[in-house]
Each structure stands twice: as C-alpha cells, then as structure tokens.
C-alpha cells in the first residue's frame, strides 16, 4: 500500500511535468505568434517546481535514488559492510529528523493558508490558493519521513549506489 501510494505521487509528478511543458510551450507560441502571453504561466511554473519536487521525492528516498557523492562510503562498504550500514542508517535517521521538521512546518503552513485563504501570484493578474501546495508539501514530506524511517529500521534499499548503465 505504501509503495503504491509513493508510485502514485511520483506518477502525478511526472504528469505535472508533462502538463507544465505543454503550458510553457503554449505560452511561447501564444507570446510570439499572437503577441498574447498566457496569464499566470510564471506563477504556475513557480509553484509547480515545489509541488513536483515534493511529489517525486518520497519515491526517490524509498528507492535510494537521492543524488549524493558516496565515494568515501563505497570505500567503507568494501572494507566494512557493517560500518557502511551504520552510516547509511545514521543518514536515514538525519533525513527522518529533517522531514519531521518539514512536516511540522507544513502542518502549520497548511493551517495558516487554509484559515486566511492566503494566495500565491500577482493580485489582479493570476492568483492561486496556497493551501493545495502546502498539502502537497505535507504529503510528500510525510512520505519522505516514512521512507527514511523504514531505512532506519530495515537498512538502506538494495538499490543504493549506481545501477547498471548509470555513472
């Protein structure tokens, strides 16, 4: 169930990227062909970066696909797999603590945005309520917290490190 939820969030993020590419392309065509840009594209792109990041991040954490420089960790793993496992769990614990703090902040931000009907964008041009973005940040952060916590308990995913065909 948890893996399915993270895959669904990631799929939504992928679809969002595709839709954003279409919107930006349409804005470019509209801007140059008709001298009429689409209102709100900059604002939509701005909050989309946040939304897409928090939709995609939990699956990346779960699968061990976070970008990192682990040259030293690879050397440690070769000499002492147990020590490398301990370092990986410590990294996961720190990640869980960071995302616990983000969840805490996102709950507060979501509550404030909901109560005050806080808006994102340029007044009179394009505005969008902030609470859906806070909800995505909260959902993605909770997914990351759960994925890091699972790594603390079970150890890092088997896919940690480069896979076949990767550098």
Tens digits of residue pLDDT in 107-134 = 999 999 999 999 988 788 788 899 999 9
To which residue do tokens 């806070």 refer? 134
69 in a structural domain: yes
pLDDT in tens, 9-20: 999 999 999 999
To which residue do tokens 């709100």 refer? 40
To which residue do tokens 């420089």 refer? 69
Q: How many domains does the chain have?
A: 1
Report the C-alpha gap between 140 and 148 in whole angstroms: 12
Q: Domain containing 17: what range?
A: 2-154
41 in a structural domain: yes
32 in a structural domain: yes
33 in a structural domain: yes
29 in a structural domain: yes
**pTM for the whole thing?**
0.84
Residue 105 has pLDDT above 50, yes or no: yes
160 in a structural domain: no
163 in a structural domain: no
């Amino acid at each position: 169930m948890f893996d399915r939820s993270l895959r669904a969030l990631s799929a939504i993020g992928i679809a969002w990227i595709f839709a954003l590419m279409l919107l930006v392309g349409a804005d470019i065509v509209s801007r140059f062909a008709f001298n009429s840009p689409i209102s709100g594209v900059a604002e939509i792109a701005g909050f989309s970066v946040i939304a897409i990041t928090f939709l995609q991040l939990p699956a990346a954490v779960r699968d061990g696909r976070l970008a990192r420089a682990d040259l030293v960790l690879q050397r440690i793993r070769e000499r002492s797999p147990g020590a490398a496992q301990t370092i990986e769990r410590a990294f996961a614990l720190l990640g869980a603590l960071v995302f616990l703090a983000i969840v805490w902040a996102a709950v507060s931000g979501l509550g404030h945005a909901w109560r005050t009907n806080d808006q994102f964008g340029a007044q009179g041009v394009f505005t969008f309520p902030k609470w859906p973005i806070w909800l995505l940040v909260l959902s993605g952060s909770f997914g990351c917290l759960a994925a890091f916590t699972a790594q603390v308990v079970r150890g890092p995913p088997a896919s940690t490190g480069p896979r076949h065909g990767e550098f």
